[in-house]
Amino acid sequence: MDKLLIRGGVPLSGEVRISGAKNAALPIMCAALLSAAPLRLANVPHLRDVTTLLNLLGGMGVAVSLDEKLGLELDAGRLHTPLAPYDLVKTMRASILVLWPLLARCGEARVSLPGGCAIGQRPVDLHIKGLQAMGADVRVEHGYIIARAKRLKGARIFTDLVTVTGTENLMMAACLAEGTSVIENAAREPEVVDLANCLKAMGANIEGAGSDTITIEGVSTLAGAAHRIMPDRIETGTFLVAAAATGGSVRLRDTNARILDAVVDKLREAGATITADDDSIALEMDGPPLSVNLRTSPYPAFPTDMQAQFMALDCIARGTAVLTETIFENRFMHALELQRLGADIEISGNTAVVKGVAQLDGATVMATDLRASASLVIAGLVARGETVVERIYHLDRGYECIEEKLSQLGAGIKRIR
């Protein structure tokens, strides 16, 4: 299994390119299932989750062609097997995103339940309820969701909590349903808007994406289209936090500060100077960071996917920070590993109290989930001496060439195979 070896203490400096967003690419690739004509995608990140989804789509009969310029063409004209098997779904919860497009297009779908997840229970009850509201017959048998419907019917759907992939699944199904659907309490994440833009390019009738009420007027078929995946706001935020924690100065290209206001605000509170134009963000840090409190919430508030990285920053900040996680119940696993590096963290329920220490010391730590891994890398970059991060397959699910990009910024980091 690959590991990362990090020699800490170097302030990050220089310029890197931000990749396309994992959480936009995955639902948009699933949208290809909705049309018999090809969908051409640009700026697709080269990630393990993308490869997993390509395998899943390939098994259903989707023809895949890739070019060397991060372009991807998906042609679901000969879709033959509306099945998402356990072996693939268990490694990537986002596989649930094939459920509704398959049902809308084929009239039936068998998708394995995603099962447990390191960061919490993550049920899919809201996805299933939404399907039932649109007239599908849904059963759970032998660990599989089995759904059937001749043609889904438009419905008013209210979810009692905000779910990102739930909103995306509903929006995709409603595109080919008969009549009008209204999704209330919809997720407002920029990735939902990116998916809506792609669906609109395919001929869908969608209004209100980016607000908490999305209205979709069903159409009978969708066409092919070309779409460019938006920049990854979590990768952007991770590099900004890494630069702030190491006292560095970086410029990130092909990204956009407007999709990460909450993160930029917190970095300014930590003492960073941030400037941005239409497609780049620059951060400069003068001196050690100040502690920042945060509370995770659905967009546009502070993202749960950035909580772990900020905890690493707070470990070496001046002051004491209180971090509250409200989205997932078990998302502090990185805290134990950060303590191995000398961090002072106390956890009580969904709250972590982090007292800044003057110095972290390198050690061997183990990555437990995707964003936890990123926080350990950041901690390794600031720690004295060598840090080894084990189980980095989590990191490869969601960060494109992380060690190459960090090396480009001057970090002492290498992959050990």
In angstroms, the CA 196 to CA 202 distance is 10
User: Does residue 117 have an active-site annotation?
Assistant: yes
Residues that bind ligand UD1 (CB under 6 A): 23, 26, 93-94, 120-127, 161, 163-166, 191, 303-305, 327-328
Q: How far is the CB of 166 from ligand UD1 (least distance, A)?
A: 5
If the CB atoms of residues 394 and 409 are measured against ligand UD1, the closer one turns out to be: 394
CA 365 to chain centre: 23
Q: How far is the CB of 126 from ligand UD1 (least distance, A)?
A: 3
If the CB atoms of residues 121 and 220 are measured against ligand UD1, the closer one turns out to be: 121
Among candidate residues 252, 207, 213, 249, the one with its CA nearest the CA of residue 232: 252
Q: How far is the CB of 311 from ligand UD1 (least distance, A)?
A: 15
In angstroms, the CA 177 to CA 155 distance is 9
If the CB atoms of residues 247 and 398 are measured against ligand UD1, the closer one turns out to be: 398
If the CB atoms of residues 166 and 218 are measured against ligand UD1, the closer one turns out to be: 166
End-to-end C-alpha distance for the chain, whole angstroms: 7
| Residue 34, CA distances (Å) to 37, 62, 204, 225, 253 in order | 9, 11, 10, 12, 32
DSSP label at residue 34: G
If the CB atoms of residues 6 and 18 are measured against ligand UD1, the closer one turns out to be: 18
Q: How far is the CB of 238 from ligand UD1 (least distance, A)?
A: 13
Annotated catalytic residue, options 117, 175, 198, 401: 117
Q: How far is the CB of 154 from ligand UD1 (least distance, A)?
A: 20
Full DSSP string of 308-332 = HHHHHHHHTSBSEEEEE--S-TT--
In angstroms, the CA 133 to CA 129 distance is 6
In angstroms, the CA 354 to CA 361 distance is 16
Q: How far is the CB of 94 from ligand UD1 (least distance, A)?
A: 4
If the CB atoms of residues 131 and 360 are measured against ligand UD1, the closer one turns out to be: 131
Residues 6+ apart with CB under 8 A from 19: 43, 45, 46, 231, 232, 235, 400
Burial class for 370, CB neighbours closer than 10 Å (0-12, 13-18, 19+): buried
CA 183 to chain centre: 22
Q: What three-state secondary structure class fits 65?
A: strand
Active site residues: 117
